[in-house]
Amino acid sequence: MTRGYHVHANGIRQHLLHYPGPGPQLLLIPGITSPAITWGFVAERLAERFDVHVLDVRGRGLSEAGDLDYSLDAMAEDAIALVAAAGLTKPFVMGHSMGARTAIRAARKNPEPFAGLILLDPPVSGPGRRAYPPGWAWYGDSIRLAQKGCSAAEMRAFCPTWTDEQVALRAEWLHTCQYTAIKTAYDGFHTDDIHADLPQITLPMRLVVAGGAPVIQAGDIAELQSLAPHIELRTVAGAGHMIPWDDLDGFLGAVMDFQI
């Protein structure tokens, strides 16, 4: 049975959803505007192998929001502190997009709590690099719409390829994504340098690339492999940035066999 729970970690209240599985433990950190509940259909399948704990990142879902630090470093410190607070033991960390960047920074700061990293299509933008492909308006406009209250039909304009259930869930939960938290994280895609973190990480890592998205391109893969030669690569051909939304079976094939 899935259950939600709260812990106090890194100075704030943090909410997670637990999808029990046979193990090993997996801490899933969603992307920039994805409350934990929106990953439920993915977590249910991941729980066939992993014991899955999905985080509501600060300023999103049921975790604490308000006047907080929403920087990459703060989110990384959350991930480190959560392991002990949630009673986890050497979990794998699976991060999607912003969550993957969070996992990278956390592992650079303190690798001890973690067993390995599964990095799902992390933005490779940063100082002096090309911008993250989606413009800010896509995020800002959809959040403002959700804050007013919107139907799934209205939200579909932002998510044309998603199922009705996925769009309805986003319309229901997107208002919990605090505008300032999202703007800080989006701006951080262009100012935080995760490439400098990678050479310092020795944990097992797997990079999962969305083959149908422009976020990670061939040259980016080569650079990431040069910075972390031990990183494994999987590509889900044809999938957009929200990989399991487009190809759940392809996504599972790319992650379920990860081990140390």
Architecture of the domain defined by 3-131+192-255: 3-Layer(aba) Sandwich (3.40)
Place of tokens 């986003």: 170
The whole-model pTM stands at 0.98
Q: Which long-range contacts (CB under 8 A, 24 or more apart) does 182-188 make?
A: 182/32, 182/33, 182/59, 182/139, 182/140, 182/143, 183/136, 183/139, 183/140, 184/70, 184/71, 185/32, 185/70, 185/72, 185/75, 185/98, 186/32, 186/132, 186/136, 186/139, 188/71, 188/72
- What's the pLDDT score for residue 260? 84
Cα–Cα distance for residue pair 54/116, rounded to 1 Å: 16
Enter the DSSP assignment of 195.
G
pLDDT for residue 182: 98
Residue 1, pLDDT score = 84
Task: Tell me the average confidence (pLDDT) per consecutive run of 10 residues in the chain, 260 residues long.
Answer: 96 98 97 98 98 98 98 98 98 98 98 98 97 95 97 96 96 98 98 98 98 97 98 97 97 96
